[in-house]
Structure 1
Amino acid sequence: MLKKTRTGTWMPAWVPESTFTLCVLLLISSIVQSAKTGGYDGSMLNGLNILPSYTEYFNLNPATTGLNTASVFIGGFLGPLVSGIIADRLGRRPAIFWGSCMTIVGIILQTASQNIAMFVIARIILGFGSAVTGIAGGVYMSEVFPSRWRAWGVGLLNDFYYVGALVAAGVTLGTGKWQSTWAWRAPSLFQAIFSVLCIFTLPFIPESPRWLVHQGLFEEARLSVAQTNAHGNLSDPIALAVFKEIVDTLRWEKEHAHAMSPLEILKNPVARKRLLIGMSPGPFSCIAGNIIASYYFGSELDTAGITDTNDQLKANVVLNVWCLACCLIGTHLAARWGRKPTAMLSQGLLITCLFIIGGLSKLYAANPQGASNSLVYGNVAVMFLFQGFYSVAWTPLLYLYPPEIMNYSIRANGLAFSSFVLNAFALVFTFIMPIGLGNIGWKMYMINASWDVVILGLIAYYWVETKGKTLEEIDALFEGEKHSSVPDIEVLRRGEKVLDTELVKEQLNSVLAIVNVG
């Protein structure tokens, strides 16, 4: 059964009464947002950069190849400048809707491109829309999913990057032999299906309860919490405790003048600390080394001795299946083991792989004609391991960790800043990587591995663990205290403490009465 639910925005909602059904819909929304943006786009461009019908149509050289590919990050670089403000002012769901619409416009223009200029402009629009959707989606999922399922709910927001990538790899493999420009236009047009699916899920999921409380829509927020935690039961102890945590914490933030503004981040020392830690997955994941395989896998395989176009396209398909399996394992580790240990394990394995790839690529470059099959396939095997190890941590943590670290006042703008820095790095790296691989070859891997060592040290020293805590309970790690009197939610779930529901209801009524009078 569907229950019509007020959302505080122009977008109505008809939410399932079953929490399980609702969480499935939230997962679907997370999945299609993940698949539609970077996953499909990255793999599609990876495949197009291999196709002669694409490279010859635009008469590409290394510089224009980098421009065509990196232009999506120009939009991704500009989008975060307004994404946080849009998500805070319009609501999380409307921001996702408008971002999806803009993505569709970019895809249509990209498909119809007649020259490099049109292609680049289309990809800037696509990147802008994807940034708005990704930031609003990351904040929304972190604020809506129950804490016990948050790692999976938000982790899948990026995990299904590889499903989109796999679909794109399969589509480009299927159209690759077409003798027309539709060999690359068809994969481009197919990308829009994910944005359409995302829009179709929005009417059946509620608005963020944190956003609703901040807007003063307490009854709507309480129902949203009950729908995502207790089948809509407003008197359920867990739902009551979660709602009171939200109300108490946001009230504390308002009383201490924590403004909903990027300036809040600059003037508040704790906010700066939370921002620096929370935004780190963006640049860390970008410069870890995956840019090479995400967009220039063909060039990477060339350095290993695999130059046949069809073989490269098949390798691209297999790579995405492997990475999907690894990121799902990584999400499980993040949920069970913790965010920080998972990141450290993954980063250490990445460093090892990059040094090995660099060494093997050097041996191949020294004698391409005399290179043995074992050398070639050994190099490719380590490349696959590298991408898998990258997927273990960075794929789920990219959207999971930042909104957990940041409190409500800076969450949307903080995640936007993380995305801004990520796209700034990605814009530079996607442009210089083909040039670097062409000029210094194997040395690029060695350079990349060296700065990854520095990243590992920063994670070990600065990151904090957020596993098993609600967004409000994480405040205690930075503020030194929790801003609500109710026990931690997981303590209640385990039955270690019992919530006095009547007392909590009285306290809530008192708080809401004060707020309404004010």
Structure 2
Amino acid sequence: MRGNERLEEREPLLGTAPVHHTRRNDDGTKNDIEDRKDPAGLIATASIDDIHTEARIAADEEHGHSFFKALKLYPAAVGWSLFFSLGVIMCGFDPQVIGQLYAVPRFQRDFGYLYEGNWIISAPWQTGLGMGSPIGQVLGALFAGYPMEWYGRKKTFGVCVICTTGLIFLQFFARSLPVLLAGELLGGLVLGTYAVIAPAYASEVCPLALRGVLTSCTNICFVIGQLLANGVIAGTEGFDSHWAYSAPFAVQWVWPFFILIGLPFAPESPWWLQRQGRFEEAEKALKRLASSDIDVKPTLAIIIETDRLEKEIETGSTYWDCFKKINRRRTEIAVGVYTIQVLSGIYLVGYATYFFTLAGLPTTQAFNMGVGFLAVGFVGTCLSWLLLVHFGRRSIYNYGLATLAVLQLIIGIIDCSPHYDQRPSIAWAEAVIMVIWNFIYDLTIGPVCFVLLCEVSATRVRSKTIALATAAQALAGIVMTVAIPYMINADQANMRGKLGFFFGGLAAACFTWAYFRVPELKGRTFQEVDIMFERNVKTREFKDYVITRE
């Protein structure tokens, strides 16, 4: 760790005003040329020192705000952040519906075949249907990075919601597996964009004190979508008509209706507007996000200075730039923490009800257990906000991941008990541990993943970094979607709870990686994070590192 000078006492990190672009001449000397318009009057009469003072004020205020004070000062930022997260509910709802439909009798009869006196959906078709959404999300997530930078977060969100509205018709009217697969694949193309847009927008409209909680809301929206899917399926699974599976698909039209009504009034990301040189609009957006007594000019100053710093250290703004030396470590962490969600066993959530039936629970109790399973996850995510306010991201993530590994291994051990079929208490024990597992997941690595995604990525490549991480997570999801039906189905490996050995082992390996690679970013502005990665600070030194001027 260099120096012992506190951040608020040091000189500015940057040595030039944000209205200049510093370029080196052929002889190595600096040549400052003015290449930007005056940002909304921010520096019309200000000196370079005044600009630095404005940026320091913003940094000091960000560090000085408590969670509840920031909540009071930035109510609109909270509201619009949650509004953009509504798309993630659809992202959680759709794949969950498919996973739960495998246990619906009418769906089994209309789309399945008889096996030993029971109607089931074959493992290949379960794999195909399950892969529709993650394959679409890989392509959709990677595609989202472009329009988000070309047209902004708001317009991209609106177009995606309109597309989702139309594609739901395919699922609603599907009466064969190929048509349903097409609906899942095309729908997944759009759904993948929501998991990129929501955390990126939240991180760019919220102050430091609120950033952790509001970026973690991406996870609770996934849980809400999954919970609603289970609730709807539990309410319709007894129907003896196509409405047993058509009604859940129709519910998806609710969210686009409300989103399209409110979206015209939403402010655009001030970070994106600043990068387009639209400083007046950026200032207006900041004013809309804050209470009326907040002076937003210091915030605009630090946005401009952070952008300048990233230009000077050449973070870039393309997908290729995510793999440059300056960004490579940050991209690795983002991809790693998101992919670990899959490797630790989260895809079992989509098969929860089906897993409970295979474990030996009656169908009705399995559906009730499935709803309770996700309800507990919802409570866990809400409680995670308390952890995020009081504890560091690294601690929450690593302790949570270690606990998940242990719980999965316990499930595997229990499943090895003799006379399994004659002891229903074993099935209940496995189900209860799975519920506890889901609670710990949504208390720790589930929400913290999205916080780390936003905090670890450079602002100029944030949408690209989140898109890459989302695509990598979806690719891992494709592998699990192929593997899980074959591991869990009665006509295949029939592993039941022995899946705990598989996912427990993977989670243990992931914990080893996270311990050495995931840094502590709590309480750091984006500018500070840029500096620490540029200086190649060691992982375990991030928490106590004091930034000094070089």
Structure 1 residue 205 corresponds to structure 2 residue 266: yes
Structure 2 Cα separation of the partners of residues 170 and 360 of structure 1: 29
The one-letter code of the counterpart of 2:446 is T
Residue aligned with 2:438, SS: helix
Name 1:23's counterpart in structure 2.
77
Greater mean deviation of Cα atoms: 108-117 or 209-218: 108-117
The residue type paired with residue 464 of structure 2 is: N
Gaps of 5+ in 1: 1-5, 7-17, 483-490, 492-518
Measured after TM superposition, the shift of residue 255 of structure 1 is: 4.4
- Counterpart of 2:335 (choices 272, 279, 295) is 279
What is the alpha-carbon distance in structure 1 between the residues aligned to residue 454 and residue 283 of structure 2? 21
Tell me what 1:157 maps to. Answer: 218
Deviations 1:280-308 (A, max 9, x none): 2221111111212x2211342144321x2
The 1:212–1:27 alpha-carbon spacing in structure 2 relative to 1, beyond 3 Å, is: closer
Q: Tell me the distance in 2 between the aligned counterparts of 1:110 and 1:394.
A: 32
Letter in 1 for 2:99: N
| TM-score, scaled to structure 1 | 0.83
Partner residue of 1:400?
Answer: 451
Higher helix share: 1
The equivalent of 1:224 in structure 2 is 285
Comparing 89-98 with 331-340, which one deviates more in the overlay?
A: 331-340
Q: Residue type of the partner of 1:402?
A: L
SS where residue 104 of structure 1 aligns?
helix
Asked if structure 1 preserves the Cα contact closer than 8 Å seen for 2:81 and 2:205, the reply is no
1:248 maps to 305
Task: Give the superposition deviation at 1:416.
Answer: 0.4
Larger Rg: 2
* 1:279 Cα deviation from its structure 2 partner: 2.0
Pick from 368, 375, 391 the counterpart of residue 321 of structure 1: 375
State the secondary structure of the residue aligned to 1:259.
coil
State the match for 1:378 in structure 2. Answer: 429
Do the aligned partners of residues 342 and 176 (structure 1) sit closer, same or farther apart at CA in structure 2, a change above 3 Å counting?
same
CA contact (8 A) 1:305 1:368 kept: no
Large movers: runs of 4+ above 6 Å: none
User: Which amino acid letter does the alignment assign opposite residue 419 of structure 2?
Assistant: N
> Which residue of the partner structure matches residue 183 of structure 1?
244
Instruction: Classify 1:443/1:368 alpha carbon distance in 2 versus 1 (closer, same or farther; 3 Å).
Output: closer
Q: Deviations over 1:142-163 (max 9, x none)?
A: 1111111111211112212222
Contact 1:274 1:405 in 2 (8 A): yes
Distance change >3 Å, CA 172–CA 248, structure 1 → 2 = same
Structure 2 residue identity aligned to 1:262 = Y
Q: Which residue of 1 aligns with 2:46?
A: none
Structure 1 residues 20 and 412 mapped into 2: Cα distance closer, same or farther (>3 Å)? closer
**Structure 1 residues 468 and 84 mapped into 2: Cα distance closer, same or farther (>3 Å)?**
same
**Correspondent of 1:331 among 375, 378, 385:** 385
Distance across 2 between alignment mates of 1:159 and 1:384: 16
Alpha-carbon RMSD across the aligned residues, in angstroms, is 2.2
Matches of 1:63 and 1:359 in 2, distance apart? Answer: 29
**Are 2:322 and 1:265 aligned?**
yes
The match for 1:505 is: none
Deviations 1:408-437 (A, max 9, x none): 222111110000001101112022101012
Aligned partner of residue 527 in structure 2, secondary structure: coil
Shift of 1:32: 1.9
Q: Which residue of 1 aligns with 2:344?
A: 288
List runs of 5+ in structure 2 lacking aligned partners. Answer: 1-39, 41-71, 113-120, 538-545
Structure-2 residue corresponding to 1:368: 420
How many Å separate the matches in 1 of 2:125 and 2:520?
42
Q: Is the 8 A contact 1:299 1:434 kept in 2?
A: no
**Counterparts of 2:221 and 2:210, CA distance in 1:** 17
Q: How does 1:369-518 map to 2 (within 5 A)?
A: 369-371=421-423, 373-438=424-489, 439=493, 441=495, 442-480=497-535
Decide which moves more: 257-266 or 124-133. 257-266
Tell me if the contact between 1:102 and 1:125 (Cα under 8 Å) persists in the aligned partners.
no
The answer to which of 257-266 and 95-104 deviates more is 257-266
Tell me the amino acid that sits aligned with residue 94 of structure 1.
Answer: K
Q: Tell me how far apart the structure 2 counterparts of residues 58 and 375 of structure 1 sit (CA, whole Å).
A: 32
CA distance in 1, matches of 2:292, 2:219: 27
Contact 1:105 1:126 in 2 (8 A): no
1:99 and 1:131 in contact (8 A); partners too: no
In structure 2, how many angstroms separate the alpha carbons of the residues matched to 1:354 and 1:257? 43
Output aligned runs, 1:84-123, within 5 Å. Answer: 84-123=145-184
Q: What is the deviation of 1:195?
A: 2.7
The match for 2:401 among 347, 353, 378 is: 347
Aligned partners of 1:404, 1:31: CA distance in 2, in Å?
17
> Is the contact made by 1:100 and 1:133 (CA closer than 8 Å) also made in structure 2?
no
User: 2:397, 2:445 within 8 Å by CA — same for their partners in 1?
Assistant: yes
Point out the more displaced range, 213-222 or 398-407. Answer: 398-407
Measure, in 2, the Cα distance between the counterparts of 1:178 and 1:257: 59
Q: 2: distance between equivalents of 1:94 and 1:443?
A: 46
CA contact (8 A) 1:30 1:153 kept: no
